[in-house]
Chain A
Amino acid sequence: MHDAEPEPEMATFRREVIDFVAANLPSDIKEKVRCNGELQKEDHVRWQTILAAKGWYCAHWPQAVGGAGWSPLRRYVFEQALAEAGAPWMLPFGPAYVGPVIAEYGDDEQKQRFLPDIIASNTAWCQGYSEPGAGSDLAGLKTRARRDGTGYRVNGQKLWTSFAHWADMMFCLARTSDEDRPQNGISFLLLDMRQPGVTIRPIVTMDMRHHVNEVFLDDVFVPRENLVGREGRGWEIAKFLLSTERLIVAETGKARRLLAQVRETAERAREGGQPLFDRPVFRRGFVEAEIALQTLEAYCSRLLKRAALGEQPGYQASLLKIRGSELLQTITALGASVAARTGLALDHEPSAGQNSPPDADAETSGLLREYLSQRAASIYGGSNEIQHNIVAKARFGFQ
C-alpha cells in the first residue's frame, strides 16, 4: 500500500456511498434493515446486483480478477458507509472470504470457474469451518477428506454454518492426513452443496431466527480440481483469509447506525414524563457507548493510516475484534433497555400501533433482536478469550 489516499477524497467517497444507498436501496429492503426484519436470500441478491452494476461489489478484489483493486482504506470507508446508511449486511462468504482466497491461491481455471459467478451473484457460498469438537480450537477439526479416484470423499459434520441453507457451494477445511501438529494435514476444499450426502439441519438461535445450521457430509464428492492451494496447506489459507478481513472486522458503520437508532427510540420512549433519553442514568450509558464507538473509529483510522504507509496490522486485528464485538453488544443492550420499558416485545401483530408513530415498536423490537443475536459477536470468529490469547502470544511472546 503506497497509494495513501487523502482524507478529503475519502470523505467525498463516503458521502457518495451514503447518497447512493439513499437513492438506490429498494425501500422494502431498507425497511427490513431498519427494523432488523428477516432478509431473504432474494433481498441480498437484489442489493448485490445493484452494487455490482455500480462496480461496487467485490471492488476490493484485484483488477485482474474483476475487482477494482480498492485499498484497505477505501474498502473500510465503503463498508462502514454502506452499513451506516442502512444497507443490508453484506454476506461475506463469497466476496470477502472465498473470493480473495481463490484470487490469491487458486489456479487460473479456478479463478475462471468461480470468481465471475460470485460477482454476478450466481453462486452463493457458505463457510465450513466449525465442528462439534472444533470451535475455538479450530485445528481440532475431524472432517476427513479421503482421496478417491479423481477427487476426495468427504465425511464429517460442520456446525454453526451460517446460511448453508442458501448456499450452492461451501468452502471448507477438511483433514487430508494426520500429522504431528493438528494444523498440518488440513486442506481447503470447495464443495458443491447441491449433491447427495449433504444434509442441512437448521438451528434456531435465541433471536428466534434461522441463520445457522448443522451440515452433515456423508461421502460427499469433491473433485481434485476443487482443492485450493496444496493439499495439507489449508491452515495457511485459513490464516490468510483472516488477514484480509482484519481491518473490517470492527463494524463501526453498523454501530453508528444502531446507536443513532437507540437515540431515536429513546427520545420517543417516555419515562416519568420525560424522554427516556433525558434520564441521567440512561444518558450516561448512551454517552459511554458513544465514547466507545468514537474510540474504536479512532483506532481503526490509526491502523488504516499505518497500513497506507506499509505497516500491516497484526495483533491489532484481534484487538479490533474484541472492541468491535463489545461495542455492538453495549449498543444493543441499550436498545434492549429501551425495549424493556414496553415489556421486551419481540414481535408485533401487523395491525398494532395504528395511533403511534409508524414502526416505532418494530424498531425497538429490532434492537432487542439485535441484542440477542449480537451475543454471538464475542464468540464467533475466535472468541474474545481466544483473541486475548493470540495477542498475548503475538505481542508479548507469552506462551
Chain B
Amino acid sequence: MTSLDDLTALREHAFRWVDQAYGEAHERAGRGLAEGYAPGMAAEIAGQGWLAVMVGAQNGGMGGGLREMAAVMEAVGRGLVAEPVLSQGAIAAPLLDRLGTPQARLLLARVLDGTSVTVMMHQEADAGFERTLASSRLTEEDGRFHIHAAKAPVLDAAGAKILLVTALDAAGRTAVVAIEADAPGVRLVRSRSVDGRMLAAVHLDHVAVPADAVLNAGADASAIVETVLEEAALLVCSEACGAIPILVEGTADYLRTRRQFGMPLASFQVLQHRMVDMLLAAEEASAVVEAALDSADGPERKRAFALAKIVTARSARFVAQQAVQLHGGIGMTDDLKVSRYFRRLMQCETMFGDADWHAERFDRLRG
C-alpha cells in the first residue's frame, strides 16, 4: 500500500462508494438511534476494509499509513458518513495495533471485523483541549487493578462495546485499559453532537478491571497515545478537506442558478469574490494537509501537523459560514445539505483542538 497508484485507486474507490452507495438517507439513518449511526452500515463499512487501513499486515491489516487513511477520511467527509470510521480506523485500530499485546490484538481483530465498536477515551472531563492526563488513575493492589477517571464526551462512544480508557499508573506511566461499556460501575452519559452523531462521556469510580485489560502491560503508552492523537487530529483535517469542496462547488452552482434582481447571483462581483476566497480557503486546507503528510516522518512533524489543523479549521469555518450566507435563508435549513456540512465541519474544526489551541502549540513548538 505504498505506491502512488495504489493510493489513487483507494481514494477513487472510496469516493465512488460514497457518491454511489452512501446517500442522504444513510447519512440521516442514525439520527434516531442510540448509537448515532446505522449498525448495519457500520458493519458494511468494516467489511470493505476501511478500518484496517492503518493496521500492520501481521495484525490482519492493510499495512497502509497516514496517507491511505487520509484518503478514506476525505471520502468520509465528502459523503458525511455517520458511521464510526475515524474512531475505529484512525484511532482504536492503530492504537491497539501499536500496543501490540496479545489482548490488544484480540480486541483489534474484533474492531476490524466490525463486531465490536471500540472507542478511545482520553480527554479528561475538565481538561479542555489539553491532552495531559491529570486525574485519571489506575491503581494496583495485590494484583487487582482499579480505574478511576472522568472522561469528556467522545464521538461514537454511545454505541461502543469497548472503551479504551487512558490513565496514569502509580509510576506515572500512561496505561490504556480496555473496559466493557456495560460493565458494572461504568457510567456513560450520552449526548447528541451538533452534527447528529452520538457522544458519550464516561465516569469510572474505582471500577475493578482484570489484569489482562491493562493493554500496555506495564510499559508507558504515552508516546503511542500522543502519536495516535496527533494523527487523529490530522485525519480529521482530511475529513474536512473532503467536505469543504462539496460546499464550494455547491455554492457556485447555486449562484449560477438562483436569480435575484433579474439576473443570476453569479453576476454580482461581491459574490464572485467571496467564492474566490472560499476556493482559496479550500485549496490552502488541502495544501497544508498535504504538507503535513509530507512532513510526517521528519523533524517538523509536530509543527506541520499543528499548522494543518489551524488552517483547515479556519478554512472549514470560513467556507461553511459563507456557504450558508451565499445560499441565504435556504442555507439555514436542515433539508439542504449545506447546513449538514456546516455542522459536520464544526466537529472537524474543533475535534482534537481548535485553531486557537493549535496556534498556541505551533508557537510553543518553534525552534
Contact = CB atoms under 8 A, between A and B. Distances in A.
Interface of A: 7, 283-284, 287-288, 290-291, 294-295, 297-299, 301-302, 316, 319, 322-323, 385, 388-389, 391-392, 395-399
B11 to A, nearest CB: 15
Interface stretch (B20-28, B34-42, B277-285): B277-285
Interface of B: 252, 255-256, 266-267, 269, 272-273, 275-277, 279-280, 283-284, 286-288, 290-291, 294, 307, 310-311, 359, 362-363, 366
A315 to B, nearest CB: 8
Secondary structure at chain A's binding surface: helix, strand, loop or mixed?
helix
A396 B272 contact: yes
A298 B252 contact: no
A316 B290 contact: no
A299 B267 CA distance: 29
Given A319-B283, A396-B252, A283 B272 contact: no
B307 A294 contact: yes
Nearest to B285: A295
A302 B311 CA distance: 15
A391 B288 CA distance: 21
B288 A295 contact: yes
Contacts of B279: 319, 391, 395-396
A298 B272 contact: no
Nearest to A322: B280
B273 A385 contact: yes
A298 B310 contact: no
29 contacts: A290-B366, A291-B307, A291-B362, A294-B288, A294-B291, A294-B307, A295-B288, A298-B288, A298-B290, A298-B307, A301-B294, A302-B287, A319-B279, A319-B283, A385-B273, A388-B273, A388-B276, A388-B277, A389-B269, A389-B272, A391-B276, A392-B269, A392-B272, A392-B275, A392-B276, A395-B276, A396-B266, A397-B256, A399-B267
B273 A291 contact: no
Contact of B280 (A284, A302, A319): A319
A137 to B, nearest CB: 15
A396 B283 contact: no
B275 A287 contact: no
A299 B275 contact: no
A13 B279 CA distance: 33
Given A283-B363, A291-B359, A301-B291, A398 B267 contact: yes
Contacts of B256: 397-398
Contacts of B363: 283, 287
Contacts of B286: 302
Contacts of A302: 286-287, 290-291
B276 A299 contact: no
Contact of B283 (A7, A287, A316): A316
Contacts of A291: 307, 310-311, 359, 362
Given A391-B279, A392-B273, A398-B266, A298 B291 contact: yes
B287 A295 contact: yes
B245 to A, nearest CB: 12
Given A287-B359, A299-B284, A395-B276, 11 more contacts: A290-B362, A295-B287, A301-B291, A319-B280, A323-B284, A388-B273, A388-B276, A389-B272, A396-B252, A396-B272, A398-B275
